[in-house]
Structures are given as structure tokens and as C-alpha cells.
Chains A and B, each alone.
Chain A
């Protein structure tokens, strides 16, 4: 599955795109619509997990936290505090806990921001355009993109968005 992105100029065009996607056999749970705050898209599928920055934040937290934890553990190993015996296990434990806590904190913080992977569309969305994303099987990418382009020249196809990896 790949996520195809389209920018639609207004809500009428968006409804058309969503209808066309459904006609092409894409189910509603694979269609995501994202608009700026205040645009009424209640009758359209929402952006689901892509609306916030939880997963990208979680991934960044895991990476940065894990690195910081292992570095702290190695530093403690090289310069052990007086009276404390430091072994390899402590490096592992520090790395694990720093990665876990970093991921949790960054994920929770990211959940209150809009998705950083959709930064490319932020200006267009703020300008009132509506982003439509659809999870399409790889072998149908061209067919769906062509069908939407044929539907209306005002709708801009923005190519494929990379998938979020759950485990970075």
C-alpha cells in the first residue's frame, strides 16, 4: 500500500475526489481528508492517525533518548562515580530506559502538534486547500492518479507519501 496525496481547492472538489476514490474501489477507511481548522469536513473521512505527530515524535524520542542513555552509560563506565561499581548491564539499562521514556515523552508531546511529515502541505492547507490522502495498492497507483487527474484539472496530484514505520 502507498499513500497518494491530492490537493483540492475547495470542499466541493474534495467530495468529488472522495466519491471517485470510492468508485475506484478504495474503502472509506483508506481515505483521509485533512483541512485547516474551521473547515466543515464532518461528512468526509477524517485524517485519522495522520492528523497528529505522535508516531514521528515517538520515533525521534526513541532514537535520541536511546543514544543519550547509552552515551550516559558509557560515560559512567569510563568515569565510574566513587563507591559505585558500574558494569555493562547498567549501560543496557540506561539505554533502554532513556529510549523508552524519550519515546513516551516525545510521542505525547507530538500528539498535540500537526503531523511533521505533512509539512510540505502545511502552506497549502493554511491557504484553504484540502488534502486528500488515499492508501492505494502499489499496482493501482497510476490508474487512481490518472482517474483523479481526469476528474478535474484543479485537483493537484502530489505523489506518494512515505509510510510511517511503527518500529523505527
Chain B
């Protein structure tokens, strides 16, 4: 049960990282480049 929680947390961190990368990239391309 707790191991599932740890795996879910890891997945959430990976998902959040990719989302932030995409959003910030779009903002950089839109406003900086």
C-alpha cells in the first residue's frame, strides 16, 4: 500500500516535471525568442 504511494508520488513528480518543461518552453518561445 505504502510502496504504491511512493510509486504514485514518483510518477506525479515526473508528470509535473514534463508539464512544467512544456509550459515554460511555450512561454519562452512566445515571449523571449
Q: Which residues of A contact B (CB under 8 A)?
A: 29, 45-46, 48-49, 51-52, 54-55, 58, 87-90, 92-93, 96-97, 100, 103-104, 107-108, 111, 166
* Alpha-carbon separation in the docked complex, A107 to B1 (Å): 21
With beta carbons under 8 angstroms apart, the residue of B6, B24, B25 that contacts A51 is B6
> Is the Cβ of B2 less than 8 Å from the Cβ of A48?
yes
With beta carbons under 8 angstroms apart, the residue of A45, A88, A97, A104 that contacts B25 is A97
Query: What residues on A are CB-neighbors of B33 within 8 Å?
Result: 87, 89-90, 93
Q: Which residues of B contact A (CB under 8 A)?
A: 2-3, 5-6, 9-10, 13-14, 17-18, 20-21, 24-25, 28-29, 32-33
> Is the Cβ of B18 less than 8 Å from the Cβ of A104?
yes
Q: Tell me, rounded to whole Å, the shortest Cβ–Cβ distance linking A155 to chain B.
A: 23
Query: What residues on B are CB-neighbors of A96 within 8 Å?
Result: 21, 24-25, 28
Query: What residues on A are CB-neighbors of B29 within 8 Å?
Result: 89, 93
Query: What residues on A are CB-neighbors of B14 within 8 Å?
Result: 104, 107-108
> Is the Cβ of A45 less than 8 Å from the Cβ of B24?
no
In addition to A92-B32, A111-B10, 4 A-B residue pairs with Cβ atoms within 8 Å of each other are A49-B5, A96-B24, A100-B21, A104-B14
Subset of 7 A-B contacts with CB under 8 Å: A48-B2, A49-B5, A52-B6, A58-B13, A87-B33, A92-B32, A104-B14
> Is the Cβ of B28 less than 8 Å from the Cβ of A93?
yes
